[in-house]
Amino acid sequence: MASTCSGRNNIQGHPCFGGNRHKNGRIHLAVAPRCNIQCGYCTRRHDCVNESRPGVTSRIQTPQEALETVRAVMKNDLSDIIKVVGIAGPGDPLANEETFETFRLVGEEFPQLIKCLSTNGLLLPESLDSLAELGLGSLTVTINAIDPVIAGRIYKHVLYQGKRYSGREGGELIISRQFAGVERAVELGLTVKVNSVLIPGVNEQQIGLIAERIKKSGAFVMNVMPLIPQADFAHIVPPSPEELELVCTANEKIIGQFRHCRQCRADAIGLIGQDSQGADSGCSISQLAVV
């Protein structure tokens, strides 16, 4: 397996990969509305201005509009702290061609910004060569189970190559694609973080097993996130901060743990926990970015 050293050199300053989150910020560009799976814990309302969680944004942007957002941010007071440009939805970035065009446009004008992407991993194996050519520096893959039966409970359906999969079959498909993608990404020198949503009563016993497997696959760090109760899992009580810390402490014996995640929106701009995007649905992301 190839070394990840070159990839780690390319993410110096990334606040989600060990960079100083109090001084280094990021821009999330909401250019990817379509998704190819349906997670039981996911509700994607594009205009949900009072919430700060994955899957929401004030509006969807075109690649050109996203470039204008980056231009606006890099001209204002945030320019000194912004180190990363990321695409994290509100759907799955790899299910949207706009993701690749956005990275191309931003990379041509702002080559100093680290390119980062978050994905469910379903289309990762066939997308990595293109992402590497675009200069992707870091990658986050959400993996919630290694048991296909449990994965089948978490993912209502998986859409792949025109066919819908569900249950164990869907679980087997997405798990195999996720780990094939992680291993290939590491071979290409990308730095990989794995997110896992802790869902009490569903996948608690999977978290440590995921940690062991991603460590063997070459991932750099793991981020265990608490369930946000909604959709099919609205009835489940999320883990307390103390319970989450116990899980992270146990996993830290296996792989490094990222403990500062705030489960950001798809249009977050600024420092983690201090975003400049916000709560006025009448404003575009570009307008919010320069307030």
CATH of the domain at 152: 3.20.20.70
CB 154 within 8 A of CB 40: yes
For the cut 80, the answer to whether the pLDDT of residue 170 exceeds it is yes
Instruction: Provide the percentage of residues in the chain whose pLDDT is more than 70.
Output: 74
Average pLDDT, integer, range 241-246: 95
CB 184 within 8 A of CB 197: no
Q: Is the pTM of this model over 0.85?
A: no
What is the number of structural domains in the chain?
1
For the cut 50, the answer to whether the pLDDT of residue 289 exceeds it is no
Say what the pLDDT of residue 103 is: 97
Residues of the domain holding 107:
5-289
Handedness of CA 91, 92, 97, 99 (dihedral sign): positive
DSSP states of 185-212: HHHTT-EEEEEEEE-TTTSHHHHHHHHH
Least confident of 31-45, 71-85, 204-218, 244-258: 71-85
Say what the pLDDT of residue 81 is: 76
For the cut 70, the answer to whether the pLDDT of residue 149 exceeds it is yes
For 169, other C-beta atoms within 10 Å of its C-beta total 13
- Residues with Cβ within 8 Å of residue 166, at least 6 apart in sequence: 152, 155, 156, 157, 158
Nearest to 266 by CA among 64, 122, 119, 158: 119
Say what the pLDDT of residue 290 is: 26
Query: Within 13 A of 129's CA, how many CA atoms are on the CB side?
Result: 1
Q: How far apart are CA 228 and CA 198, in angstroms?
A: 9
Q: How far apart are CA 262 and CA 215, in angstroms?
A: 23
Q: How far apart are CA 198 and CA 201, in angstroms?
A: 9
Say what the pLDDT of residue 6 is: 44
* Top mean-pLDDT range of 26-30, 195-199, 228-232: 195-199
Under DSSP, is residue 156 helix (H, G, I), strand (E, B) or coil? Answer: strand
- What average pLDDT is seen over the chain? 82
Handedness of CA 108, 11, 191, 75 (dihedral sign): negative
Say what the pLDDT of residue 44 is: 62
